[in-house]
């Protein structure tokens, strides 16, 4: 099985790579950028990075990923960006996510404009990212790194590979709000409690809520080389 990963992208107005390296040294809170590695000696934490030059389509991608939460001033800076730093992290558990949040905050403090989680397809302003950096509570992290998607056939989560866990999918036979509650309840239970879930088991979250049977399968929603593909697979919830 391919190792699950998180990729975040942070554009900035660094004039050249030398300025990027210097600002990381001075303002990131202990990180060093050398070649294709960003490293923090204090925590002995290192990640692979890719640095790309200006991408004329990036502002549109951030607009789509950030919805109406990114203002025109932020989108203008993204449109004028000179470089984008992509941090690539192999996921062990939620501690990896917290380390990615910190390195993202370091790059924002060093001149980055905003953050896009490439493996989930959502984007955040510096202020929104600071909120989770300052308070790494389970639900806050989960709600920033996981999104819910629906179509005429099913509702499903996207982004649980950030925690090294499968996503969850359910048939679209139930109300959308009920589906959202169920998906979130299941994912948070899996993330916080870390149960040993098995094929064929049943689950229910209250005495009056429906009972669902669990079935684990490969992620059939995306191709294997798609950033949204979850190598941990999917839990299908089937109403008993």
pLDDT digits (tens, 9 = 90+) for 173-184: 888 999 999 999
Is the same domain home to 13 and 80?
yes
Is the same domain home to 106 and 126?
yes
Is the same domain home to 172 and 224?
yes
Query: What average pLDDT does this structure show over 186-199?
Result: 95
Residue 198 has pLDDT above 60, yes or no: yes
Write the DSSP assignment of 11-48 as a string of letters: EE--SSHHHHHHHHHHHSSSEEEETTEEEETTTTEEEE
Query: What average pLDDT does this structure show over 138-145?
Result: 95
The 10s digit of each residue's pLDDT in 35-81 is 999 999 887 889 999 999 999 999 999 999 998 889 999 999 999 99
Query: What average pLDDT does this structure show over 20-26?
Result: 97
Is the same domain home to 33 and 105?
yes
Alpha-carbon distance of 118 to 19, in angstroms, equals 25
Q: Report which of residues 93 and 116 the model is more confident about.
A: 116
Is the same domain home to 157 and 123?
no
Does the model's pTM come out above 0.85?
Answer: yes
pLDDT of residue 28: 96
Residue 1 has pLDDT above 60, yes or no: no
Is the same domain home to 73 and 186?
no
Residue 237 has pLDDT above 80, yes or no: yes
| Cβ–Cβ < 8 Å for 122, 97 | no
Percent residues over pLDDT 70 in the chain: 100
Around Cβ 240, how many Cβ atoms within 10 Å? 10
What total number of domains does the chain contain?
Answer: 2
Is the same domain home to 10 and 121?
yes
Task: Examine the fold and report which residue of 116, 139, 162 is the final residue of a domain before the chain moves on.
Answer: 139
Grouping H, G, I as helix, E, B as strand and the rest as coil, residue 2 is coil
| Cβ–Cβ < 8 Å for 187, 142 | yes
Domain that holds residue 79: 5-139
Task: Examine the fold and report which residue of 139, 157, 183 is the final residue of a domain before the chain moves on.
Answer: 139
pLDDT of residue 114: 98
Is the same domain home to 193 and 226?
yes
Residue 207 has pLDDT above 90, yes or no: no
């Amino acid at each position: 099985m391919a190792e699950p990963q998180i990729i975040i992208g942070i554009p900035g107005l660094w004039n050249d790579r030398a300025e990027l390296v210097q600002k990381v040294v001075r303002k990131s809170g202990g990180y060093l950028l050398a070649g294709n590695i960003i490293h923090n000696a204090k925590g002995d934490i290192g990640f692979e990075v890719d640095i790309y030059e200006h991408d004329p389509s990036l502002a549109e991608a951030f607009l789509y990923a950030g919805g109406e939460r990114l203002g025109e001033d932020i989108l203008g800076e993204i449109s004028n960006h000179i470089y984008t730093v992509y941090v690539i992290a192999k996921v062990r558990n939620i501690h990896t996510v917290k380390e990615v949040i910190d390195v993202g905050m370091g790059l924002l403090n060093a001149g980055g404009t905003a953050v896009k989680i490439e493996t989930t397809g959502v984007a955040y302003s510096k202020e929104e990212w600071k909120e989770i950096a300052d308070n790494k509570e389970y639900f806050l992290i989960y709600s920033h790194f996981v999104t819910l998607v629906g179509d005429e056939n099913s509702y499903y989560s996207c982004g649980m590979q950030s925690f090294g866990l499968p996503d969850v999918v359910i048939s679209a036979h139930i109300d959308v709000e009920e589906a959202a509650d169920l998906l979130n309840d299941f994912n948070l239970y899996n993330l916080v409690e870390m149960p040993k879930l098995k094929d064929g088991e049943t689950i229910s979250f209250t005495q009056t809520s429906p009972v669902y049977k669990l079935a684990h399968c490969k992620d059939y929603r995306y191709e294997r080389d798609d950033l949204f593909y979850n190598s941990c697979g999917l839990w299908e919830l089937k109403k008993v």
